[in-house]
Amino acid sequence: MEFHWAALFQSQEAIIWKVIVPPILYFAHGYLATWMAVAALFRPYDAYFVPFTKIQLPLTPGIFPKRRAKLAQAVAGTITDTLLTPQDIKGQVEHLLTEDNIRLTIGLLVDSVLKEFRDTTKLHRLASDIAELSPTLLEHFVASSIESLEAGKDAKIATITEKVFDQVILTTRISLEQASEFASRILEAFATPPKVRAGLITLLSPSNISALEESIGAHASGPYKLLARIIGVKRVCYEWRNFLEKEPEEADKIIQDMIKRFGIKEQIALQIANFDLRSMPLQTVNKFKANMVTFVEAFLIEHKSDIIASVRKVEGEAMASVRQAIVGFNPESIPEPWLMRAKQDLSQFFYSYLKRELGELLEKAIPKLGMYNVIAQKIDLFSAQQLENLVKRICKQELQALEWFGGFIGLMLGFVQILVNAIAP
């Protein structure tokens, strides 16, 4: 088959229509067709109908706006099933959970809190809020602690009491001045002359006097036994008893003078000042501690209503104390070494806790986040224009390349048409 080039190019008009125009037309056709196909993905945004009818025109709205709900579900399913699985989230969190990151986070948190405390307005507002809440918290804490103790489910009271005993009572030493004051109160309450005289009268009962005489006769050695007979211990005791009973005023003066001359107050004060629980046998100390714990627990349970009522009575004082403590707090007064140590302790605590409990926490938290529903709802709430802008922002170059590729295919078809015209004019 021979080409009829002469016939094909026999005139200038034939050259234009058969060589130049087909590639241009085919290119424009391919480009516009591809552009319309891409536009049909998003446009029109809304549905259109045949005038005066309810017949919806085809391809209205665009493919993405029409299938927006299914698109949202498909994208959400793809993300949660393959791109952002619970295992991926858990792995990423565990990767980020390092001691340095925790320390940095805690440091920033503490610094932010201290910075907020420098704002006087916020500080006063915080103080008022916490102060109003403090009585309720205090009452709830006291009531729940006593109820747990009563049910036998709480050992905090026993632990606190033991710590107070070990760190306060066991190590407490009374000064001589305080001991002297205690001794004075003891003498005023228990060792007044009338009470001492009444005690001596009770001690010098006939049975006790007879027992004293028998004991001397049975256990005293020869000279002392002889001396007791010469003096007449039994008779002296009866005389002394008669004196105490018949001459109470004189007896009280003598007892008062003896207490003063013998330095009874000073002796009691010295014994109190020198007393140290740690010098007692360990078994005795432990028994004393156990008795103290039992006493405290029984006292709290027995006087539960009275304690709660007392807590309610100090509501105003509690609020004022909390408010004053917060308002008077000055972050600048915190020693830097103490602040650094506090940050370190908090970091170590949270790191240990999260390292131990992170897996279980994430297993419970991730399903409750509902990532699938969140993503699907977010995409479904996009308007058609927002959806178009989102896709074009992500695939702008690819969509433009697709349009130009359609034009290129049309251009190739134009050249094919030239060859066809040349082969079969």
**Per-residue pLDDT, 12:** 56
User: Domain boundary at 243, 275, 307, which?
Assistant: 275
- Per residue in 208-241, pLDDT (tens digit) is 888 888 887 777 777 777 777 777 778 888 888 8
Give pTM, 2 decimals. Answer: 0.41
Q: Classify residue 308: in a domain, yes or no.
A: no
pLDDT per residue as tens digits for the range 65-102: 777 777 777 777 777 677 667 677 777 777 777 778 88
Measured between alpha carbons, how far is 32 from 29 in angstroms, rounded to an integer?
A: 5
| Euclidean distance between CA atoms 346 and 256, whole angstroms | 63
Is 32 a member of any domain?
Answer: yes
In a domain, 37, yes or no: yes
Choose between 200 and 396: higher pLDDT. 200
Domain membership of residue 243 as a residue range = 174-275
45 domain-assigned: yes
Domain count, the chain: 2
Rg (CA), the chain: 51
Q: Tens of pLDDT along 7-57?
A: 544 555 556 666 677 778 878 877 787 777 777 767 777 777 778 777 877
Residue 387 phi/psi, 5° resolution? Answer: -65, -40
- The answer as to whether 84 is a domain residue is no
Residue 308 above 70 pLDDT? yes
Q: For residue 239, give both structure tokens.
A: 């005389």
As a whole number of angstroms, the distance between CA 293 and CA 158 comes to: 6
339 assigned to some structural domain: no
For residues 258 and 249, what is the distance between their CA atoms, to the nearest angstrom? 14
> In the predicted model, is pLDDT for residue 2 greater than 60?
no
Q: Which residue has the tokens 């103290």?
A: 292
Q: Which of 359, 350, 358, 360 is nearest to 100 (CA)?
A: 350
Q: Is 50 helix (H, G, I), strand (E, B) or coil?
A: coil
State how far Cα 419 lies from the chain centre. Answer: 82
Q: Is the Cα torsion angle 32, 38, 44, 48 positive or negative in sign?
A: positive
Domain boundary among 254, 275, 296: 275
> Rounded mean pLDDT of 287-313?
84
> With the CA atoms of 226, 228, 232 and 238 taken in that order, what torsion angle do they form, in degrees rounded to the nearest 10?
-160
Query: Cα–Cα–Cα angle for 18, 21, 22, nearest 5°?
Result: 75
Q: Residue by residue, what is the 3-state secondary structure of 259-310?
A: HHHCCHHHHHHHHHHHCCHHHCCHHHHHHHHHHHHHHHHHHHHHCHHHHHHH
Domain termination residue (choose one: 275, 302, 319): 275
* Within-domain flag for 219: yes
pLDDT of 364 over the 80 cut: no
Say if 102 falls within a structural domain.
Answer: no
Residue 49 φ/ψ, nearest 5 degrees = -125, 155
Residue 387, Cβ density class (10 Å: 0-12 exposed, 13-18 middle, ≥19 buried): buried
> Could you tell me which residues are beta bridge partners of residue 56?
49
Answer whether 256's CB lies under 8 Å from 193's CB.
yes
pLDDT tens string 264-296? 888 888 888 888 877 788 888 888 888 888 888
Which tokens is 309 given? 């009522």
Task: Write down the residue that tokens 């600048």 correspond to.
Answer: 332
Nearest CA among 101, 106, 108, 111 for reference residue 345: 106
